[in-house]
Amino acid sequence: MVYGSGAADAAADDRLDAVFAALAHPVRRELVQSLARADAPLTMGRAAAAHGLSPQLLNKHAAALERAGVVRRVPRGREKVLELDAAALAAAQQWIGEARAFWQQRFDALDQYIADLEDESA
């Protein structure tokens, strides 16, 4: 154990806040999907057109994704290409996975508990 075990440091917490919040909007999820499947680098302009968004609005959504570390905007000439950073997604996915793992184990324990009760009452 390195620092605190119960409080689960605040920086990671903030990051998860941002990642989950970023994914909590259909447009941003579609954006992420586009980036995940894209076979060619996607610029802001092309992304906006592809999703029928104004450049300004896309900019805001891209900023949200960037805040969360899900996406980087890399300048190339006068345009910027969007790059997905799968690490942030992995962190969120892992969080859910851990919660589910705990739950599964608790579920099994409850099962056992109920079985024990039935043994006693038998």
Interaction site with its own copies (CB under 8 A): 13, 16-18, 20-21, 23-26, 29, 32-33, 35-39, 84, 86, 89-90, 92-93, 95-97, 99-100, 102-104, 106, 109
In contact, 53 and 62? CB cutoff 8 Å: no
- In order of 21, 36, 61, 98, the CA distances from 13 in angstroms are 12, 25, 21, 15
Q: Give residues 50-69 in contact with DNA (rule: CB under 7 A).
A: 53-57, 59-64
Residue 44 found at the interface with DNA (CB under 7 A): yes
Q: What are phi and psi of 85, to 5 degrees?
A: -110, 105
Short-list 72, 35, 65, CA closest to 51 = 35
The 3-state DSSP class for residue 4 equals coil
In terms of CB distance, is 4 or 75 closer to DNA?
75
Residue 14 found at the interface with DNA (CB under 7 A): no
The 3-state DSSP class for residue 78 equals coil
CB of 108 to its own copies, least distance (A): 12
CB of 69 to DNA, least distance (A): 14
Residues near DNA (CB under 7 A) are: 21, 25, 27, 43-46, 48, 53-57, 59-64, 73, 75, 77-80
